[in-house]
Amino acid sequence: MSNENMMTRRGLFAKIGILLNGVVAAALAVPIGRFLLSSVTRGRADGYLSWVSLGPVSQFPEGETRLATFRNPYVMPTDGKTADTACWVRRVDADQFQVFAVNCAHLGCPVRWFPQSGLFMCPCHGGAYYRDGSRASGPPERGLFEYPYKVTNGAVVIQAGELPTPGSTAAADKRQPPCA
Amino acid sequence: MRLIKTIGEWFDLRLQLAQPIRDVAEHPVPRNTASWLYVFGSAALTVFCLQVVTGVLLALVYVPSAAEAWSSLQALNYQVTLGWFIRALHGWGSNFMVAIVLVHMVQVFLFGAYKFPRELTWIIGVFLLLMTLGMAFTGQVLRFDQDAYWGLGIGASIASRVPVLGPAVVKLMLGGPIIAGATLSRFFALHVFVIPGLLIGFVALHLLMVVKLGINEWPMPGRVVRRATYLGEYHALTRRDGAPFVPYAIWKDIIFAACVLVAVAGCALVFGPFGPTGEPDPTIIQTVPKPDYFFLWLYALLSLLPPALETPALLIGPVIAIAALVLLPFLSGEGEKSWRRRPIAVLTVMLIAVTLGTFTRLAQYAPWSPQMSAWSGEPVPQQFLHGATALERQGALVFQAKQCRNCHSLDEKGGQRGPTLDSVAVRLTQDQLIRQVIQGGGNMPAYGKNLSPAETTALVAFLQTLHPAGQAPARDASRDIVLGEPGPPNATATR
């Protein structure tokens, strides 16, 4: 160690050792990163959305709005009841429906339907929506989220699988609130 | 005694910790810092230790599975001996910890302790505050009940508003597409491993710097901090007027820590554990979720912000707040330390305290939320129906049946979302009432599609009776002339 600037054999080995660890760390970072981001990347690859049945059409009387529940199509063994999801089904006429998420378009609290006044009301921050899901008042900036639906073999089937949030593309219907 | 000494020496020959510990214990501190105002840091550390111990105890029984977490909490509350008490200690400990950390922060801010050379101590303290709040939020999630479930929904809704990355952030946060098993597991990992690990590391650094740099001296008006001279002045002060930390100053820390623990235990004993509220079943929608005490101000803020301001405020507000706290020691690293010479600092603390206090108070009764059961649970008070005609009584029925009461109070009963209607007839004429009911506006939904003409007529007839005894209802004077309707007797005289 007489000359500080001279590379010794041991010093070189130490540097090679550090380099080797760097390479291993970089190699391990790939699977670790993929594991951590799996909940995001899976959504991109084959998606979480599938078609789920809400039951026969006859359960939903014309002109009324009823609560329906379904089991989320993507389930983990530890989900328990949390994979059960509720939605509001409005049967407009014989073959026209609207299926709303219970989650308020403001911050996701569960909205309740009041048939007498024809309003959905949110218990958290006071959002209210008309029977067709459009915004009536309060902090939400848009109407209720709607699930795409179809009627197959006499059953109402909706495309679901993701928590509808203000920013999610899955829940983004193009509904604009009417001029109030 | 000789045996203890021998054993002690045996260990110290190997550990060699006795001298460093003695140095730390006996390091001189300025005499006037042995004050009851300098005890909050050690109190926060004490409560943190309590949280670690009670947290480990709870983990002996708690099951971090969405299917079983709630029932394992029920078992802790009702089945396991004194499980309720350990839960209560942990819950109250968290409340005390947030409170003490905030008080500690206010004290060091007002005493100018963040100034040179203790900038990094302050910055790490800011991170410790954020981690404490992170522990409070993740802990609330582990109490996996309806509040936790919908609280996560609110968190996801806020996260989803991040531009471009929003949906990915939500899935990362939830561990999947919905709030479910994976969500609880990752919040468990955060609450039990990640954040506590960081907390312990940062607390160690925080303490190390307090010992190395010395405790902030009691600020004197006029004694100004300058980078060039401060260190010398501080050492001169501890040499001239210093005393060993142990036992000169530490006895107050120890006694206060004991008082805090007694207070936590007392609250736990008297008030018991927090929840859990209802089972976290998303198909049960008859729920009114509310956050824990320390996030109530945020709950209020989210209700009161104008909708268009909400997303920017939610996403930019925290960044500005954290940046301001981190940059504070760089913006005013020198100068006066005493609060007597820093009126803006004092006013800032008071403003923030009053704002947070007001929002918290408001959130406790949430006037912005409709009262979901007022229409069926609160009858129209009798005095509003005395001498009412059949039509007006029918209007009162419509008023209840159409859930007007959920947002409008009569005689102080009912929702407070909209204005109270005790004297609405004084404010609005018949035409204005009809327009308001049918078209809504001013944050009221339009009821045009949900009321028949007969119902509207009856409802407005009832609303027109709502005025104080000695005060005439509002009327549109021009109607008398245009429609030839008779006005009040004294008005007809002028025609």
Three-state SS across B175-232? CCCCCCHHHHHHHHHHHHHHHHHHHHHHHHHHHHHHHHHCCCCCCCCCCEECCCCHHH
Chain A residues closer than 8 Å to B401 by CB = 116
Query: ∠ CA(B109), CA(B111), CA(B112), 5° rounding?
Result: 65
Strands A146-147 and B335-336: unpaired
DSSP state letter for B388 = -
Q: Is A46 on the interface with B (CB under 8 A)?
A: no
Determine the residue among B72, B141, B178 to mutate to test chain A binding: the one whose Cβ has the most chain A Cβ atoms within 10 Å: B178
Asked if residue B451 lies in contact with residue B410, where contact means CB atoms within 8 angstroms, the answer is no
Q: Which CATH class is domain A48-160?
A: mainly beta
Q: Label residues B375-412 b or e (16+ Cβ within 10 Å = b).
A: beebebeeebeeebeeebbbbbebbbebbbbbbbbbee
Asked if residue A154 lies in contact with residue A57, where contact means CB atoms within 8 angstroms, the answer is yes
Helix (H, G, I), strand (E, B) or coil at A151: strand
Distance in angstroms (rounded) separating the CA atoms of residues B152 and A90: 27
Tell me which residues of chain A, numbers 139 to 168, contact chain B at a CB-CB cutoff of 8 Å.
139-141, 161-163, 165-168
Tell me which residues of chain A, numbers 10 to 39, contact chain B at a CB-CB cutoff of 8 Å.
36-37, 39
Chain-chain contact of B443 with A81 (C-beta, under 8 angstroms)? no
Is the ipTM higher than 0.90? The answer is: no
Distance from CA of A31 to the nearest CA of B (A): 16
- Compute the half-sphere exposure of residue B281: CA atoms within 13 Å on the CB side of its CA: 9
DSSP state letter for B413 = B
Determine the residue among A35, A42, A78, A134 to mutate to test chain B binding: the one whose Cβ has the most chain B Cβ atoms within 10 Å: A78
Asked if residue A85 lies in contact with residue B282, where contact means CB atoms within 8 angstroms, the answer is yes
Distance from CA of B403 to the nearest CA of A (A): 6
Chain-chain contact of A84 with B281 (C-beta, under 8 angstroms)? yes
Distance in angstroms (rounded) separating the CA atoms of residues B362 and B428: 28
Distance in angstroms (rounded) separating the CA atoms of residues A97 and A158: 11
Along chain B (495 residues), what's the average pLDDT of each consecutive run of 10 residues?
93 94 93 94 97 97 95 96 97 96 97 95 97 96 94 92 90 93 96 97 97 94 93 94 92 96 98 92 88 89 86 91 96 93 96 95 87 87 88 92 90 88 91 90 86 92 90 83 64 40
Chain-chain contact of A108 with B280 (C-beta, under 8 angstroms)? no
Asked if residue B421 lies in contact with residue B409, where contact means CB atoms within 8 angstroms, the answer is yes
Distance in angstroms (rounded) separating the CA atoms of residues A82 and B66: 7
Q: Is A179 on the interface with B (CB under 8 A)?
A: no
- According to CATH, the superfamily of the domain at B30-365 is Cytochrome Bc1 Complex; Chain C (1.20.810.10)
Distance from CA of B457 to the nearest CA of A (A): 16
| CA-wise closest residue to B449 among A141, A139, A112, A63 | A63
CB burial class (10 A; 0-12, 13-18, 19+) of residue B107? middle
| CA-wise closest residue to B260 among B36, B488, B489, B26 | B36
Strands A149-152 and A146-147: unpaired
CB atoms within 10 A of CB B440: 18
Give the residue on B whose Cα is nearest the Cα of A78.
B181
Distance in angstroms (rounded) separating the CA atoms of residues B146 and B285: 9
| CA-wise closest residue to A165 among B56, B436, B227, B154 | B154
Chain-chain contact of A137 with B289 (C-beta, under 8 angstroms)? no
- Listed in order, strand segments (DSSP E) in B5-108 are 28-30
Provide the pLDDT for residue B480: 76
* H-assigned helices in chain A: 9-36, 38-45
A128 has which bridge partners? A121, A137
Chain-chain contact of A37 with B445 (C-beta, under 8 angstroms)? no
Distance in angstroms (rounded) separating the CA atoms of residues A123 and A104: 9
What separation in angstroms does the CA of A62 have from each of A92, A98, A157, B125, B189?
Answer: 6, 12, 17, 61, 48
| CA-wise closest residue to A103 among B160, B220, B461 | B160
Two structure tokens written together for A151: 């009627």
What separation in angstroms does the CA of B234 have from each of A152, B105, B250?
Answer: 81, 22, 20
Chain-chain contact of A78 with B66 (C-beta, under 8 angstroms)? yes
Whether B30-365 and B374-492 share one fold: the answer is no
Distance from CA of B175 to the nearest CA of A (A): 5
Q: Is A72 on the interface with B (CB under 8 A)?
A: yes
DSSP state letter for A116 = T
CB atoms within 10 A of CB B148: 28
| CA-wise closest residue to A167 among B10, B157, B32 | B157
- Compute the half-sphere exposure of residue A119: CA atoms within 13 Å on the CB side of its CA: 28
| CA-wise closest residue to B145 among B51, B268, B284 | B284
- According to CATH, the superfamily of the domain at B374-492 is Cytochrome c-like domain (1.10.760.10)
Chain-chain contact of B171 with A111 (C-beta, under 8 angstroms)? no
Secondary structure percentages of chain A, helix, strand, coil, to 5: 25, 30, 45
Provide the pLDDT for residue A48: 85
Two structure tokens written together for B94: 């968290």
| CA-wise closest residue to B402 among B428, B430, B440 | B440
Distance in angstroms (rounded) separating the CA atoms of residues B64 and B182: 10
Provide the pLDDT for residue A175: 43
Determine the residue among A50, A75, A79 to mutate to test chain B binding: the one whose Cβ has the most chain B Cβ atoms within 10 Å: A79
A151 has which bridge partners? A156
Along chain A (180 residues), what's the average pLDDT of each consecutive run of 10 residues?
73 95 97 92 73 93 93 91 94 92 92 91 89 90 93 92 78 42
CB atoms within 10 A of CB A176: 10
Two structure tokens written together for A19: 């380099």
- Listed in order, strand segments (DSSP E) in B224-283 are 224-225, 242-244
Strands A50-56 and A65-71: unpaired
Q: Is A80 on the interface with B (CB under 8 A)?
A: yes
From B66, B150, B303, residue closest to A110, measured CB to CB:
B150
Tell me which residues of chain A, numbers 122 to 141, contact chain B at a CB-CB cutoff of 8 Å.
122-126, 128, 130-131, 136-141
A114 has which bridge partners? A119
Chain-chain contact of B180 with A167 (C-beta, under 8 angstroms)? no
Q: How many residues are listed for chain B in this entry?
A: 495
Chain-chain contact of A43 with B283 (C-beta, under 8 angstroms)? no
pTM, two decimals, is 0.89
CB atoms within 10 A of CB A75: 16
Domain ranges within chain B, ordered by starting residue:
30-365, 374-492
* H-assigned helices in B402-452: 424-427, 430-439
